[in-house]
Amino acid sequence: MNLKGQFPSSRMRRMRRDDFSRRLMRETRLSADDLIYPVFVLEGQGRTEQVASMPGVERVTLDRLLPVAERALNLGVPALALFPVIGADKKSDTAEEAWNPEGLVPTVVARLKREFPELGVITDVALDPYTSHGQDGLIDPADPRGYVMNDETLEALAKQALCHARAGADVVAPSDMMDGRIGRIRQTLDAERLIHTRILAYSAKYASSFYGPFRDAVGSAGNLGKGNKYTYQMDPANSDEALREVALDLEEGADMVMVKPGMPYLDIVRRVKDEFGVPTYAYQVSGEYAMLQAAFANGWLDRDTCTLEALLAFKRAGADGILTYFALEAAELLRRG
């Protein structure tokens, strides 16, 4: 009888017995190179604000962001992703502050690139921090439904992306989910000979309830009120649709694609990576972070091991990189080994 591959001739636990053999057969590895740190930036100077729904996360002004950027660089984290917190006096229905060359984001980008040129800077391209209604696009004031206009929004997004690129952003990351925005932004950047500016497309961004704490952090929750983003962000029930979205963004000129949220959508990450084989990223969003923090605070989960295990799951699913509020903490843990 041929028992090859069967117990007792095959014992899967043999290779698990010792640390050295577990390491030799390890299929997936997590490193600081895989992490992107999202940061919330305030106007002004000398200000720090705690985000109540995201323990350990702060909104900071540029002067207080600089030491954070230096720490990220020293830990080997490749890039920061910037998210602005704009005062109510600068929000409007037309979101024109989004492409103000003297505004918060271009100012922060220029300073970061001057101080830390080797640190990647990624900017969010979306209008929700700047709109008085909290939506990611423009709305016809005469429309009782408040439907976000697609083509008119593209022009605003292109101006916003160009503003960021001119300031020195390495990567612009459209997170709005308007149709055709990648092509419109790429056309605008190329026309200005900004051919090295990369586009990280939020290609499969779902209309998820896991974004709540983020909206608190950037101050758009109050503006959005009881509104929602179902008419442009993806239905959480859909998977095939995500592949169509990714294919379209790649055809239009995206260099990288994003799946958001993260852990509840790891099946989408795997499908995207298997189908396209392109640089694929995932966002461990604010709700995921808040849930883990709550479990840590109550002693229900071990902080260090669960932080790294959750991030490793992204890598195993096929993500090339992970946006995570645990980035600096995880990089410290990985350094300690």
- What is the average per-residue pLDDT within 269-281? 98
Say whether pLDDT at 50 is over 80. yes
- What is the average per-residue pLDDT within 48-63? 95
Say whether pLDDT at 222 is over 90. no
Q: Binning pLDDT at 50, 70 and 90, where does residue 223 land?
A: low
Residue positions annotated with a catalytic role: 205, 260
How distant, in Å, are the alpha carbons of 8, 38, 121, 296 from that of 116? 57, 16, 10, 33
Q: Binning pLDDT at 50, 70 and 90, where does residue 221 land?
A: low
- Burial of 206-215, coded b for 16+ CB within 10 Å and e otherwise, reads bebebbbbbb
Q: What angle do CA 107, 110, 111 make, to 5 degrees?
A: 85
- Share the mean pLDDT of the chain: 94
Say whether pLDDT at 281 is over 60. yes
Query: Among the listed ranges 28-37, 182-191, 215-224, which one has the minimum average pLDDT value?
Result: 215-224
Say whether pLDDT at 256 is over 60. yes
pLDDT at 9: 82
Say whether pLDDT at 225 is over 70. no
Q: What is the pLDDT of residues 130-156, one digit of tens each?
A: 999 999 999 998 888 889 999 999 999
Entry pTM: 0.94
Specify whether the CB–CB gap between 121 and 171 falls below 8 A: yes
Specify whether the CB–CB gap between 98 and 130 falls below 8 A: yes
Say whether pLDDT at 3 is over 60. no
Say whether pLDDT at 103 is over 80. yes
Any idea what DSSP says for residue 235? P
- What is the average per-residue pLDDT within 24-41? 97
pLDDT at 180: 98
Q: Binning pLDDT at 50, 70 and 90, where does residue 8 land?
A: confident
Give 89-106 as a DSSP string.
Answer: GG-BSS-GGGG-TTSHHH
pLDDT at 337: 80
